[in-house]
């Protein structure tokens, strides 16, 4: 954690936020996935501050955020296949890992770079005003759930970052889908809102981590972040077919929540489930709930991403 309290400017001006970032400051901004905590990717000192504020392990690299495909191409070596994927799903919740083209970018010592083009309009105006790639992992303390509401950001990060840029709260709610294009064939490193079945239409040979041996799956530098426990509230998280037998003092999220539970969030689709999952976790912690029951997602897009996040939260 950064020791000295800093003055946090709260603004809805992307231009003002960009000026702070370009002077070496840390700026929290909304994206369509979750809030990000950003620094100029050309400013190693500022990037290292992100690790301090998040208490992030120093070998876990950051995703760079850029405003368009030309900037993406300037960061990494984007081949035709990756360009097809980005033309279809960007701007949006998809991240590619590429061979690093610009050696001045901060990548925590790797020769690869992770890049995405967010679609949130505030994020886009901010990135355009910055004019440099913005290194931004999710705005949360490492190990805790990513944050999806301004209210939570203000509570957790006021006095710790230089600026908080206000805009629309994330509408997707979980982190981007990550594909490693440096592998042959490419590997789906992290499932997300962009679903595997839609990716397979463009990348028929896309592999999942489950297709690799355990040693290959955790080998550096594939995705250093994968080895860390993520996204977890303090309470015990359980994944269940049905919420029927949940104890009354357990919180619940799912399609058939039980009447009378201390805290329940009812959803009607996997999309809504993704949008609300992390705020459900945050609220469980705020209410000191001991156990959170999560219902298995529906057989539709988003199931793999939801299971991935819930299972990580459930693994103590």
Residues within the interface to ligand AMP (CB under 6 A): 60-63, 97, 107, 110, 112-114, 137-138, 175, 178, 221, 223-226
CB nearer to ligand AMP: pick between 61 and 302 = 61
Using rule CB under 5 A, residue 252 touches Mg ion: no
CB nearer to ligand AMP: pick between 118 and 225 = 225
Report the residue number whose CB is nearest to ligand AMP.
225
Token pair recorded at residue 168: 């629309």
Task: Give the nearest distance from C-beta 64 to ligand AMP in angstroms.
Answer: 8
Task: Give the nearest distance from C-beta 137 to Mg ion in angstroms.
Answer: 5
Using rule CB under 5 A, residue 122 touches Mg ion: no
CB nearer to ligand AMP: pick between 86 and 293 = 86
CB nearer to Mg ion: pick between 76 and 137 = 137
CB nearer to Mg ion: pick between 122 and 138 = 138
Using rule CB under 5 A, residue 138 touches Mg ion: yes
Select the binding partner of residue 112 from Mg ion, ligand AMP, none (C-beta < 5 to 8 A, by kind): ligand AMP
């Amino acid at each position: 954690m950064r020791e000295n309290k800093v003055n946090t400017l709260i603004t809805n001006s992307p231009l003002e936020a960009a000026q702070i970032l370009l002077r070496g400051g840390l700026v929290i901004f909304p994206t369509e996935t979750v809030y990000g905590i950003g620094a100029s990717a050309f400013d190693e000192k500022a990037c290292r501050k992100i690790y301090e504020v998040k208490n992030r392990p120093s070998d876990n690299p950051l995703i760079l955020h850029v405003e368009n495909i030309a900037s993406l191409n300037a960061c990494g070596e984007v081949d035709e296949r990756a360009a097809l994927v980005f033309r279809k799903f960007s701007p949006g919740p998809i991240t590619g890992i590429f061979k690093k083209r610009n050696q001045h970018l901060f990548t925590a010592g790797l020769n690869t770079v992770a890049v995405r083009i967010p679609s949130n309009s505030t994020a886009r105006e901010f990135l355009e005003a910055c004019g440099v790639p913005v290194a931004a992992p999710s705005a949360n303390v490492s190990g805790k759930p990513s944050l999806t509401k301004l209210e939570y950001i203000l509570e957790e990060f006021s006095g710790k970052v230089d600026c908080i840029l206000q805009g629309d709260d994330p509408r997707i709610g979980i982190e981007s889908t990550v594909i490693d294009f440096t592998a042959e064939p490419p590997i789906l490193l992290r499932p997300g809102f962009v679903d595997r079945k839609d990716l397979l239409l463009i990348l028929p040979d896309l592999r999942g981590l489950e297709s690799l041996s355990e040693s290959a799956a955790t080998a550096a530098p594939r995705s250093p972040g994968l080895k860390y426990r993520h996204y977890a509230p303090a309470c015990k998280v359980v994944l269940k077919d049905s919420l029927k037998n949940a104890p009354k003092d357990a919180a619940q999220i799912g399609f058939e929540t039980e009447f009378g539970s201390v805290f329940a969030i009812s959803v009607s689709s996997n999309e809504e489930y993704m949008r609300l999952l992390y705020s459900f976790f945050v609220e469980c912690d705020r209410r000191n709930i001991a156990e959170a029951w999560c219902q298995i997602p529906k057989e539709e897009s988003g199931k793999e991403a939801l299971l991935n996040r819930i299972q990580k939260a459930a693994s103590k």
